């Protein structure tokens, strides 16, 4: 098997980021937990996690600009994990189109979070993408 689908890797990355954030679980333990008995290659998952964690300060400061009346520490941990992953991909990854990243984030929010969350994440990411388009124009 040549590795997991990117969607699966993103879902697992959110689960890992959640554990690291909530329980300060070490990265290798978090990956082992979400991979369980899976034979799939976790290379892309590790790549995403390394990228998010290495750039966390920059990612968090960028997210804070778009939270509108919320503090990053106050939003649900799972939503924070989803936003961190999406912001990482938009800020640092050129391979995946921004719209794809946004749609994946919304789908993952529907999977792991509640009705309000996916709307909120959609709003935060929309604002972020609009501001980026404005800067690039």
- Asked whether residue 53 carries a pLDDT value surpassing 60, the answer given is yes
Task: Kindly tell me the burial class for residue 36, based on how many C-beta atoms sit within 10 Å of its own C-beta (0-12, 13-18, 19 or more).
Answer: exposed
Cα–Cα distance for residue pair 26/7, rounded to 1 Å:
23
Instruction: Give tens-digit pLDDT for 64-98.
Output: 999 988 899 899 999 999 999 999 999 999 889 99
Q: What is the pTM of this model?
A: 0.91
Q: Give the number of C-alpha atoms closer than 13 A to the C-alpha of residue 120, restricted to the C-beta side.
A: 19
Cα–Cα distance for residue pair 5/99, rounded to 1 Å:
18
Cα–Cα distance for residue pair 134/12, rounded to 1 Å:
32
Q: What is the average pLDDT score of the chain?
A: 91
Q: What is the pLDDT of residue 109?
A: 95
DSSP 48-94: HHHHHHHTHHHHHHHHHTTSSS--GGGS-HHHHHHHHHHHHHHHH-S
Task: Kindly tell me the burial class for residue 50, based on how many C-beta atoms sit within 10 Å of its own C-beta (0-12, 13-18, 19 or more).
Answer: exposed
Q: Band of the pLDDT at 3, cuts 50, 70, 90?
A: low
Q: What is the pLDDT of residue 136?
A: 74
Q: At what angle do helices 43-54 and 27-35 cross, to 10 degrees?
A: 150
Instruction: Give tens-digit pLDDT for 99-122.
Output: 999 999 999 999 998 888 999 999
């Amino acid at each position: 098997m040549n590795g997991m689908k990117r969607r699966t890797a993103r879902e697992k990355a959110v689960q890992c980021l959640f554990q690291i954030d909530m329980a300060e679980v070490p990265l290798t333990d978090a990956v082992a937990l979400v991979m369980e008995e899976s034979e799939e290659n976790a290379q892309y998952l590790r790549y995403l996690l390394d990228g998010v964690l290495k750039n966390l300060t920059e990612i968090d400061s960028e997210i804070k600009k778009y939270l509108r009346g919320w503090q990053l520490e106050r939003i649900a941990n799972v939503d924070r994990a989803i936003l961190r992953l999406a912001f990482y991909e938009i800020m640092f990854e050129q391979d995946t189109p921004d719209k794809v990243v946004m749609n994946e984030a919304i789908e993952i929010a529907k999977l792991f979070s509640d009705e309000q969350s996916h709307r909120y994440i959609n709003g935060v990411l929309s604002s972020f993408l609009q501001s980026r388009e404005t800067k690039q124009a």
